[in-house]
Amino acid sequence: MKPVHPGHPAPADAVQRKAVVPVICYPVETLPRPDLAVLQAARAGWVKTGETLVPARDAATFRVPAGHFFRIVSVGGPQVGDLNLWNAADLSERFYSGKTRALHGTHLSTGDRMWSAFPHLRPLATITDDTLDWYGFDAFGGAVHDVIGTRCDPYTHNLLSHGGQYHHCCHSNLTRAVAAATGLPLHQAEGHVHDVLNVFMCTGFTRDAGQYFMKASPVRPGDFIEFFAEVDLLGALSACPGGDCSDEHSSDAAACHPLLVEVYAPLSPPQGWASPGRNGYDRTHGV
Ligand SMILES: [Zn+2]
């Protein structure tokens, strides 16, 4: 955090320097855009092919074929979820939270895409609906579905609690779920767990100190966020031990609820849609 009492005096032109108008790092006008209308039209007559109930304070995995849709649905009560996505055929291609944030901003909604890590950098999934899009940003600067938090984890908890051992943080939940789905040993599975999309979580940064904050999620049973799978996906979702994240996580104190993942197959693929190829950079890196 920035010091309350800086160790260095402001220069004579400090006011002018601070008044420089910012520019957007990544203007997305030239980014390949999804044809949302076409994707959404493909939902007509779709067939539900499966569902996975993610137990409270635990995680589960699910698979979605390219060209199909999946929804994460609030059931039972306000609950946030931590989502990981991988290319089902190659777990090294996984969701890249940081670059997604740089491209689409701190919180995602309809039309935004979940981009994969280098050297792939292509959309793994496109968000096609979000019943919480009305929330926008609140007076605190909070919004839902962030790509700024990483996931609650037992290592940070251990540091902050001076030695605490808690095993149902999202990181551990996801690790167990990935190990079960892949057959990998626990510590190898852990290496595949990555920074998440915080589904339904309401977060922001405080205006004074820039500290990461959370507040009670506005999600209610029946709310959902919907994705279109651009490639064959393996997904893992943790129902965070923080529940609606109104108070604390990394403990069993909060009221927690399950989350439902539903998978839908369209009658036919969206018109003109093709699974995106890997990134076009030639990877010679100037050599
Ligand atoms: Zn969590």
Per the DSSP assignment, residues forming a β-bridge with 235 are 62, 85
What 3-state class would DSSP assign to 113? Answer: strand
User: Ligand 1: distance of its center to the CA of 4 in Å?
Assistant: 31
Each residue's pLDDT tens digit, 129-145:
999 999 999 999 999 99
Residue 32: its pLDDT value, please? 86
Each residue's pLDDT tens digit, 22-81:
999 988 888 888 999 999 999 999 999 999 999 999 999 999 999 999 999 999 999 999
User: Ligand 1: distance of its center to the CA of 50 in Å?
Assistant: 25
Average pLDDT, the chain: 96
Between the alpha carbon of residue 49 and those of residues 62, 65, 67, 71, 265, the distances in Å are 12, 11, 13, 12, 6
User: Ligand 1: distance of its center to the CA of 92 in Å?
Assistant: 23
Q: Is the Cβ–Cβ distance between 240 and 81 less than 8 Å?
A: yes
Give the Cα separation of 68 and 64 in Å (integer).
6
User: Ligand 1: distance of its center to the CA of 276 in Å?
Assistant: 31
Give the Cα separation of 12 and 249 in Å (integer).
46
User: Ligand 1: distance of its center to the CA of 196 in Å?
Assistant: 10
Decide which of 278 and 237 is more confident: 237
